[in-house]
Amino acid sequence: MTQRRAEQKKDDEEWDLAMEGRLNNLAPISDFVTAAAHEAGLDDQAAFAVQMATDEACCNIIEHAYDGIEKGKIQIRCRLDGDDFVVKLKDFGRPFNPDEVPLPDLVGDLSKRRIGGLGLHFIRRLMVEVYFSFDETEGNELTMIKRGVAHKVEEAKKQATEEVDAAQKQAAARIEDALQRAARKIGRARKRAANKRSHSLK
């Protein structure tokens, strides 16, 4: 990543990356958000949704805000906020009005469908909340939220606790069983020894 002039920072619940806005940086950006999402406790499916939405948004920034030429950076900030995994993307390119992007046709005959608008459609479908803000001096910011992280972490903790309990119960049952078998064996051995003694006395 150093060859790509990335600046990366990670706190306990915050992950930052800044990269030049060019298409061959899409893969490392995807790797970065996927790793952050996994560290935050998202499952594979939710992490893939975050990766997909971020890739589409960064591709739009590079191709449209920066006109496909290397004009500036993309700042990526992922943050865990309670139950939310929040991804903020910042660029300093040309602003656009997301409401002017036509909705894609998803049901008509493909031969007659107009191609376009799928990227924004994916972002809106894959993330729970999506906000745009545009500012000529401060830059453009896209906020995308995936919800239910804490819930998933709690579920995983609960499942892990249940698995440990079950394993402990199984181990206790096995020990109890082994003790009973050992006790029976000792009983039988004592009986045999007693029988032997009574035979030898006779």
The verdict on 128 binding other proteins (CB under 8 A) reads no
CA distance 200 to 45: 76
> Is residue 111 at the binding interface for other proteins, with CB under 8 A as the rule?
yes
Q: What is the CA radius of gyration of the chain?
A: 30
CB of 102 to other proteins, least distance (A): 14
Report if residue 122 touches other proteins, rule: CB under 8 A.
yes
Q: Does position 98 bind other proteins by CB under 8 A?
A: no
Q: Which is nearer to other proteins, 122 or 150 (CB)?
A: 122
> Per residue in 118-135, is it b (16+ CB within 10 Å) or e — as a string?
ebbebbeebbeebeeeee
Q: How many CB atoms lie within 10 A of CB 144?
A: 24
Q: Which tokens hold the place of 95? A: 């602003």
Cβ-based nearer residue to other proteins, 18 or 59 = 59
For other proteins, which stretch binds (CB under 8 A), given 109-117, 129-137, 144-152, 193-201?
109-117
91 binding other proteins? (CB under 8 A): no
